[in-house]
Structure 1
Amino acid sequence: MSSPPAPTGRARVPVPANPGRVPARTDPARVPAWIVWSLRVTATLHLVTVLGQAVIAGMFVTGEVDLLAHHSLGATVTSVLLGLQLIAAITLWRPGRGPLWPLGVSVLQATLVNAQIVLGQERQLAMHIPLAMVIFGLAVSMTAWTWRGQRRAAA
């Protein structure tokens, strides 16, 4: 006689009584494509503006002082796009049933960008420039995830 299988420590997932009800767990394959694309587009545009800000800042630091107004305008555009990314991340999470962490990263990005704007207005370059590198890294990571991690959901 064979013995019963050893317990794995995992609980059995009950079958829902109402088959029309959507399970509470997240499943990227169930996220509607338009939600995934809204996050992809907003994250990509946010990354482009962050890169544009770096170019303008580099030109400003090398002597093109007239570009400070463009850098300030770029900060506003970056903030607006990040607000749209926040909305897309909320939509991905609920009602899209996607993961929660992109919303957390978007909130962190928004907090850092707002701090960045204040530091720039106060001319605190010792903090402004390193924080720009953190913002750039987060923007690259978020954009890369939207294109790689959500590929199945948009198919």
Structure 2
Amino acid sequence: MADTSGIPAQRSRTWPLTLLRTTSLLFVFDTLVQAALAGLFITGDVGFLDLHAANAQLLATTLALVEAMAALLVWRSMRGPAWPFGVAVGLVVLVGAQMGLGAARMLGGHVPLALGVFGVGVALSCWACTYKGREGECG
């Protein structure tokens, strides 16, 4: 069944969930890229530190913000649960803290927090990719 725009009604209602799934998966992948860039820096190529910092400032931050906006849309427009939005906002805060610790060269906090960022990102991604919606629809 299609609405007047020609887009199937099911798909037009679930695009926020598709956006959340996409950004959450991209965020997890980017977190792995961040770890690889850090590892390459540790092996002695200092140029990778600049790439690591730039990726955090541009891509990781943007993905975390878009992920939070998508979680807000899933909650508000799709009437999904509120907690994923809270987790996504927490992820934005963690990414900011991560960048601050990295800029201050406080590796004792930066490295363990990176594991937390990855874990929270994976958990949110797993939820987003398995959530069926209120009426059992799949995005």
Give TM-score, length-normalised by structure 1.
Answer: 0.76
CA contact (8 A) 2:14 2:78 kept: no
Identical positions, percent:
37
RMSD: 1.7
Task: Tell me which residue corresponds to 2:44.
Answer: 63
Unpaired runs of 5+ residues, structure 2, are 1-11
Of 45, 50, 62, 2:31 maps to 50
1:126 aligns with 2:108: yes
**2:84 is matched with which residue: 81, 102, 105?**
102
How do 1:4-153 residues align onto structure 2 when only pairs under 5 Å count? 32-76=13-57, 77-150=59-132, 152-153=136-137
Q: Deviations over 1:27-67 (max 9, x none)?
A: xxxx9321210110111111111110011011111211110
Counterpart of 2:48, as a letter, is L
Structure 1 distance, partners of 2:19, 2:137, is 12
Q: Is the 8 A contact 1:32 1:154 kept in 2?
A: no
Which residue of the partner structure matches residue 4 of structure 1?
Answer: none
Greater helix share, 1 or 2? 2
CA distance in 1, matches of 2:127, 2:114: 20
2:138 paired residue number = 154
Q: For residues 78 and 130 of structure 2, what CA distance do their matches in structure 1 show?
A: 18
Cα drift, residue 107 of structure 1: 0.8
Moved more, 144-153 or 75-84: 144-153
Aligned length, in residue pairs: 126
- The separation in 1 between residues aligned to 2:116 and 2:16, in whole angstroms, is 26
- State the shift of 1:153 in Å: 2.9
Normalised TM-score (structure 2): 0.85
1:149 deviation in Å?
2.5
Q: Deviations over 1:77-104 (max 9, x none)?
A: 1001111001101100112111101101
Distance 2:128 2:106 in 1: 32
Using the alignment, how far apart are the partners of 1:147 and 1:52 within structure 2? 21
Gaps (5+ residues) in structure 1? Answer: 1-30
Q: Give the letter for the 1:32 counterpart.
A: R
